[in-house]
Structure 1
Amino acid sequence: MGPAAGSVTARYLVYFQYLGTDFNGVAAIRGCQRAVGVQNYLEEAAKRLNSVVPVKFTISSRTDAGVHALCNAAHLDVQRRSGQPPFSPEVLAEALNAHLKHPAIRIVQAFRVPGDFHARHAATSRTYLYRLVTGCHRPDQLSVFERNRCWALRAGCLDVDAMQAAAQHLLGTHDFSAFQSAGSPATGSVRTLRRASVSPDPGSPFVLAQENRLQFWNLEFESQSFLYRQVRRMTSVLVAVGLGALMPAQVKVILESRDPLGRHQARVAPAHGLFLKSVLYGSLGKSSLPGKVPACIPLIDPSS
């Protein structure tokens, strides 16, 4: 069915965030299953926009069950009835937030984009953050506000220098088959890892002063795209290095083996410590993005 006579279709890029604890990933779950994805709630809210054609969200970056997003992205088309002008990005974002039925999802901002823009294919960079905490010998020693938001390790410390040395072996363009889980829809396993860092976190605001035995750590990975569970597998291997179970040089051996079933690389870090931190687009000029862009949401990839 073609566009209704006189109707206007507008495409938008929206940035949104969510705590993934309650969701079976970001992608919509179709049918009568009890599981639900973030996209289900987004599209339910979009029904209230009264678009001539049902609104579908095309998600930039798929995330698994339990994984969070500080900032994911999607594009959507809204076709208003004849005589009605397109929504402004501000009104669109406000309307979606007003009709979202889950408190763990929020639209951060929206922009008008060209009709051929694609949120997944146009992304030039994605950054993931993985949060660790050491010194947590029992689950009940972790703040209730931090549970499901980091991987709690019993170890009192990590050899961060060794982890950083190991991460250097992952940088650049490689076949990352050794860090890919089965079930990936990707046709190839070569990726370019631009950044891999390990750094101490100044501390969680949700941890009391008397709980100073806990130390938080941030691992960050940047690439244009990642393989299925690649970040969680790389994290698990780097943690093994930090705990002394692997030497940094062994990470290179694992990478070059292209074997995803090895003892260390087959382990997957828990989903609840992972956050999609940002999605960058290099194909959009600043003139295409009206309004002020928040500093926490870099839309333009400076390397492009």
Structure 2
Amino acid sequence: MTRLALGVSYNGQAYSGWQSQLSGNTIQDKLEAALGRFATHRVSTLCAGRTDAGVHGLMQVVHFDTPLDRPASSWVRGTNTFLPSDIAVQWAQPVPDEFHARGSAVARRYAYVLLQSPVRPSVDAGRVGWVFHPLDHNAMRQAADHLLGEHDFTSFRASACQAKSPVKTLQRIGISCRGQSVPHPELGWSPCYWRFEFEANAFLHHMIRNIMGCLIAIGQGKESPDWMEKVLATRSRDAAAPTFSPDGLYFLGPVYEAAWGLPERTAAYDWLP
């Protein structure tokens, strides 16, 4: 038997999340069906991190075992032949039997792309979140700093979360904005794309979308930056802002030790604003 790892990218708009469901309308269902057709045997995959309905993946990593001995490039081309156009295998690589897509990951990375504009998204609808009012970068940065390190993130945890512990270590939150040079003639401020990047040892269900709801409330001046610290300390989901839209959320991929020799990113990673 050979153990293979795959890097998979997908647009999550049309699917009910990653994890297999009876409906068959999930990324895992489509991937395993395509792998099965190419391999001519049933394939079961394990992923680095499950994503929700509407959430996108730039480098989801999966592993599976197969008795077949085929070149890695043929797994990419052959599997993609049977996948819908919004899902694609980016790379394939044999790995040792002890490699585990989830268990071998030392961290996971996500990005949230947010359009700040007086007009709702059009060509990028479903691929970015949206806010009408301008955001205060410094206020959001101060608020984000309260979340760094090891904390109990119960306040940002969905009720359906199955994680054994709410304690996670958030290692990095990056916040940047790329905007137009010409201000809007009526509002006096420039539309722009905000990019929020998160890296942690692991994430809770809806954790990033719940954090985003709080960051946006603070960025719009509805709450102070110190409110984030109070929400965190309360350890109650009721204390935080509503869960924000999944549209702009991207799973950038897991982080592995260099010894595994796996790619750190795909071409899709650099597409984001």
Contact 1:136 1:152 in 2 (8 A): no
* Structure number, greater radius of gyration: 1
Matching residue's letter, 2:34: A
Contact 2:110 2:250 in 1 (8 A): yes
CA distance in 1, matches of 2:162, 2:98: 23
TM superposition shift of 1:277: 1.2
3-state DSSP class of the match of 2:197? strand
Cα distance, 1:295–1:73 mapped onto 2, change above 3 Å: closer
CA distance in 2, matches of 1:257, 1:62: 27
User: Is 1:149 equivalent to 2:137 in the alignment?
Assistant: no
CA distance in 2, matches of 1:23, 1:10: 30
CA distance in 1, matches of 2:260, 2:39: 30
**Which residue, out of 4, 9, 22, partners 2:14?**
22
Contact 1:236 1:268 in 2 (8 A): yes
Alignment of 1:3-14 (within 5 A): 9-14=1-6
TM superposition shift of 1:213: 4.2
Contact 1:27 1:59 in 2 (8 A): no
3-state DSSP class of the match of 1:185? coil
**Which residue, out of 86, 89, 105, partners 2:72?**
89
TM superposition shift of 1:168: 0.3
**Partner of 1:179 in structure 2?**
156
Matching residue's letter, 1:275: Y
**Which residue, out of 190, 196, 221, partners 1:244?**
221
User: Is 1:76 equivalent to 2:76 in the alignment?
Assistant: no
TM-score (structure 1 length as normaliser): 0.81
CA distance in 2, matches of 1:90, 1:150: 32
TM-score (structure 2 length as normaliser): 0.90
5+ residue gaps, structure 2: 268-273
Give me the identity figure in percent: 29
Matching residue's letter, 1:258: R
User: Is 1:132 equivalent to 2:117 in the alignment?
Assistant: no
**Which residue, out of 250, 256, 267, partners 1:275?**
250
User: Is 1:46 equivalent to 2:69 in the alignment?
Assistant: no
Matching residue's letter, 1:20: G
Contact 1:18 1:68 in 2 (8 A): yes
**Partner of 1:254 in structure 2?**
231
Deviations along 1:41-67, one digit per CA (max 9) or x if unpaired, are: 111111123355x21111111100000
Number of aligned residue pairs = 261
CA distance in 1, matches of 2:264, 2:203: 25
5+ residue gaps, structure 1: 1-8, 81-85, 204-208, 298-304
CA distance in 2, matches of 1:296, 1:47: 24
Contact 1:192 1:223 in 2 (8 A): yes
Matching residue's letter, 1:76: F
**Partner of 1:300 in structure 2?**
none
Contact 1:65 1:271 in 2 (8 A): yes
Deviations along 1:263-294, one digit per CA (max 9) or x if unpaired, are: xx1411101110111211117343xx5xxx47
- Structure number with greater CO (CA < 8 Å, separation at least 6) is 2
3-state DSSP class of the match of 1:227? coil
3-state DSSP class of the match of 2:170? strand
CA distance in 2, matches of 1:261, 1:214: 32
**Partner of 2:271 in structure 1?**
none
3-state DSSP class of the match of 1:199? strand
TM superposition shift of 1:116: 2.3
TM superposition shift of 1:79: 1.6
CA distance in 1, matches of 2:256, 2:66: 21
Deviations along 1:47-99, one digit per CA (max 9) or x if unpaired, are: 123355x211111111000001111111011123xxxxx11211111111112
Cα distance, 1:294–1:253 mapped onto 2, change above 3 Å: closer
CA distance in 1, matches of 2:211, 2:7: 26
**Partner of 2:270 in structure 1?**
none
Contact 2:153 2:167 in 1 (8 A): yes
Deviations along 1:122-153, one digit per CA (max 9) or x if unpaired, are: 1111111001111234x3xx3x3211111111
3-state DSSP class of the match of 2:78? helix
Contact 2:153 2:168 in 1 (8 A): yes
TM superposition shift of 1:223: 0.5
Matching residue's letter, 1:14: L
**Partner of 2:203 in structure 1?**
226
Contact 1:89 1:111 in 2 (8 A): yes
